Amino acid sequence: EIVLTQSPGTLSLSPGERATLSCRASQSVSSSYLAWYQQKPGQAPRLLIYGASSRATGIPDRFSGSGSGTDFTLTISRLEPEDFAVYYCQQFGTSPPGYTFGQGTKLEIK
Amino acid sequence: QVQLQESGPGLVKPSETLSLTCTVSGYSISSGYYWGWIRQPPGKGLEWIGSIYHSGSTYYNPSLKSRVTISVDTSKNQFSLKLTSVTAADRAVYYCARGTSATGTDAWGQGTLVTVSS
């Protein structure tokens, strides 16, 4: 079973700054099956990125994803006040088939 | 615009079975996608429970597989979750969702809190 480890656990930044969030897999993951989500308090998660680098519908272009193999990154180029939330990475594995989430990174206002 | 809505008891007794239903509107389950359940204990992270295709093929989280059944009713455009022998550790917000392995989980219900207590 693949384990996803996100870092840092908490990231404190100011609006306007650049955020870099990491997701590391315990073994190689297909880039096609790596996604990122944003979750705000009391809300369901929202899909940001799928296929490691494709933005979901309606997601601003300040959000970008990259990476391959075991190391993936979510970058928010210029933080807006509404971007402060918890972010999760997720992968789909084929053996056995199923999904795994990382433990999350909390992005908080500094 | 697809919408998903969870329904079911908010309180379940220990050792009993948790049963939830997800009603889908704005999209026919029969048209495709995997339909799944994810849960989140209060203040903690997300845990995938399992998914089902409209044809009925399923796959489950290995850690929950012995207790989980997910089924689909295409005539009602609904899918359901049963989790047996619940304990306090199963207290969580349960989300139903739609997705594929390649395009991510792109639609979520609002979530429903299920508490396990006698």
CA distance A80 to chain B (A): 22
Q: Read off the pLDDT of residues A71-84 as tens digits, 9 standing for 90 and up.
A: 999 999 999 999 99
Mean pLDDT of B77-93: 98
Asked whether residue B81 carries a pLDDT value surpassing 90, the answer given is: yes
Instruction: Specify the 3-state DSSP secondary structure of B104.
Output: strand
Of A33, A49, A102, the CB nearest to B101: A33
Q: Read off the pLDDT of residues A37-68 as tens digits, 9 standing for 90 and up.
A: 999 999 999 999 999 999 999 999 999 999 99
- The token pair at A50 is 């799928």
Best B39, B46, B110 residue to mutate vs chain A (most A CBs within 10 Å): B46
Give the separation between CA A15 and CA A36, rounded to whole angstroms: 21
Mean pLDDT of B42-64: 93
Q: Read off the pLDDT of residues A1-44 as tens digits, 9 standing for 90 and up.
A: 899 999 999 999 999 999 999 999 999 998 889 999 999 999 99
Nearest chain A residue to B104 by CA distance is A50
Give the separation between CA B73 and CA B9, rounded to whole angstroms: 19
